[in-house]
Amino acid sequence: EQRIALLPAAGSGSRMASAIPKQYLPLAGQPVLRHTVQAFMIHPAIDRIVVVISPEDEWFDEYDWQFAQSKLTVLRCGGASRAESVRNGLQAIAPVMADSSWVLVHDAARPCLAQADLSRLLQTLADDPVGGILAVPVADTLKRAGEGQQVVETVPRDGMWQAQTPQMFRHGVLSKALSGELDAGVTDEASAIERLGYAPRLVAGSARNLKITFPADLALAEWIIAHPA
């Protein structure tokens, strides 16, 4: 079975307050995206890495991707949302993918993915007909806010997980899930799969696999990279 990593990297990173999209910000001397590609490059079970960038991207070609040449494909087919970027990427690789092949969709902005977490995801789901995601149990107490931003209720955190990536699904199921309308409710691949009536599996990951969203996340990611588990 083929295992393809699909990395949506077509975002503009508006929450970072930076002119450079976050996937290209420097992290420990290398652009964030390079760390992310490296995690899949060195894992022996990953056959191919497909990076989806924006047609207007001016940064990708500024870097040397030689180290990943044996596995890397770049597609300039990013869309208006993350889900659209993933769908466009899936459509582009469809001709060479069997329905049962695995696609691991991973945020370009999660550069600290550990090999052990990736291996656990691959091993846990190996015989699964659909797939699943890395996730971590919610640590904080959850409040639902009302109109005036007061607490309406405390949501029991038992059984609540935070979704991460990779989100690993069979190509056929994932393509079908993302072929419909991609409204704002489709915030990850799993939510689209759930709409088809499937129940993606949750595989315990690690809080180290953070997504770079705000400037402070870069400093934290730098620390994580300097202190491997």
| Residues engaged in binding ligand C5P (CB under 6 A) | 8-11, 23, 52, 78-82, 85, 107-109, 211, 213
- Measured from the CB atom, the residue of 38 and 123 that comes closer to ligand C5P is 38
- Measured from the CB atom, the residue of 86 and 202 that comes closer to ligand C5P is 86
Task: Dig out the tokens for 113 from the structure.
Answer: 């993915």
Distance CA 66, CA 54 (A): 21
- Measured from the CB atom, the residue of 124 and 182 that comes closer to ligand C5P is 182
Q: Cβ 153 to ligand C5P, closest distance in Å?
A: 27
Q: Cβ 154 to ligand C5P, closest distance in Å?
A: 27
Q: Name the residue number minimizing CB distance to ligand C5P.
A: 11
Q: Cβ 161 to ligand C5P, closest distance in Å?
A: 18
Asked if residues 131 and 193 have their Cβ atoms less than 8 Å apart, the reply is yes
Q: Which residues contact 116 (CB under 8 A, 6 or more apart)?
A: 229
Q: Cβ 229 to ligand C5P, closest distance in Å?
A: 23
Distance CA 124, CA 122 (A): 6
Task: Dig out the tokens for 60 from the structure.
Answer: 């990708």
- Measured from the CB atom, the residue of 76 and 124 that comes closer to ligand C5P is 76
DSSP 90-122: HHHHGGG--TTSEEEE--TT-TT--HHHHHHHH
